[in-house]
Amino acid sequence: MAKDQGSAESRLHLPEYRGHGIAELTGFACLVLFVAAAMGGAFGDGPASNATGASGDGSLQVEYQRFCRRHAPQEIRVTVPTQRGVNHVELTFNSEYLRRVQITEIAPQPQQATAQSEGRLRFVTDGSGTPLTVQLHVQAQRAGFQQAVVSVARHGDVQLKQFVYP
């Protein structure tokens, strides 16, 4: 291809440089991928971040975010099965997860909460057998991968895997 006679390269008698086209395309492609990942939720709230886990029989369900930020509020929604005629249900979280997060709010308020080897939350139910939805507002205290195990007696457990950005 002939040099443009009015270009800076031709006026200064410099060789024509053609390598910038590949670098520009690569940079633009990386930028587009980064923006698409951000819009999809790879760095926080979004469709790629929202997840639902369920126990083997599907009766215990947990909605949570796969990706979150340290000290940023997030919500975990747990749908707990209840039994007709039983006026309470006990929800358990593994202790490692409880060491990595701070629970700021629980709705409805549990009748009893203990944090020994595992965190147990005991809720009063109406005994009708309708599922109970529990909302936990938490803040991750440490960056990195973390795993939670949520369980209810006789209904199995649900494993949650999250990545916490600094």
Residues 142 and 86 in one domain: yes
Check whether residue 88 and residue 161 sit in a common domain: yes
Burial of 84 (0-12, 13-18, 19+ CB in 10 A): exposed
> What is the CATH number for 131?
2.60.40.10
The answer to whether position 45 is within a domain reads no
- Distance (Å, whole) CA 121 – CA 111: 8
Helix (H) or strand (E) holding 40: helix 20-40
pLDDT tens for the chain, residues 1 to 166: 555 666 776 777 777 666 677 888 888 888 998 888 877 777 767 777 888 998 888 889 999 999 989 999 999 999 988 888 888 888 888 888 888 999 899 888 877 777 666 777 888 777 787 888 889 999 999 999 999 999 888 788 999 999 998 8
Residues 56 and 130 in one domain: yes
What's the pLDDT at 162? 92
Are 20 and 80 in a shared domain? no
Full residue range of the structural domain in which residue 157 is found: 50-165
Q: Same structural domain for residues 66 and 28? A: no
Whole-model pTM: value is 0.74
- From residue 147, alpha-carbon distances to 6, 26, 82, 158 in Å are 63, 36, 25, 10
Measured CA to CA, the distance from residue 161 to residue 159 in angstroms comes to 7
Q: Could you give the dihedral angle defined by the CA atoms of residues 159, 120, 95 and 70, in that order, rounded to the nearest 10 degrees?
A: 70
Name the strand (E) or helix (H) holding 30. helix 20-40
Phi, psi of 100 (to 5 degrees): -95, -10
Looking at the fold, whether 30 and 62 belong to one and the same domain comes out as no
Q: Are residues 54 and 35 in the same domain?
A: no
